[in-house]
Amino acid sequence: MRAGILLALCCALAARADDGIGFQISAEGAETGIAVYPGAKALKNDKDSQALSMAFWGGSKDFRLSLAKYWSADDADRIAEFYRTDLAKFGRVVDCSAEPDDPICGDASREDGVIELRAGKKKDRRIVAISPKTGGCKIVLLHLRTRGL
């Protein structure tokens, strides 16, 4: 249902012949460019898909989002240490749960216990959210790129 509404919205926005949209719900993972934590398993449940890639573009404007969700039995601090190292290849890594006033953390989650790491530039950002749960952690990997917006 949500996918259908989103697709209809993207179609409405893509009005010119050189405009375009792309939308994919994937079972193999999204193109986030972020490494998958070793041993993590793709997270699937009845409400959500494991991965999503979507894009719409036209003229000088461009929006692309890739998202993937995983589960690991490891603790959040261990997972966060892995991602601090991996995200460093995209620039300065900020822990928005510890530094919420950093400019890169403007819309970061304020949920208790969630570790949110961000790296990259304003228009090309990688985000990792680690949510401790009973028996392990949910890991969300996100790559957001915009141009002209």
Give per-residue pLDDT as tens, 16-73: 556 666 655 654 555 788 999 999 998 776 465 566 666 666 667 777 888 889 999 9
Percent share of the chain, pLDDT over 90: 39
Give per-residue pLDDT as tens, 75-133: 999 999 999 999 999 999 999 988 888 888 877 767 788 999 999 988 889 999 999 99
Compute the distance between CA of residue 16 and CA of residue 78 in angstroms, rounded to an integer.
Answer: 48
Number of domains in the chain: 1
The domain of 15 spans 2-147
Per DSSP (E only), the strands in the chain are 20-26, 41-42, 51-58, 61-72, 94-95, 115-121, 124-133, 136-147
Supply 144's token pair: 């957001």
In this prediction the pTM is 0.77
Residue 3: DSSP 8-state = H
Compute the distance between CA of residue 142 and CA of residue 126 in angstroms, rounded to an integer.
Answer: 6
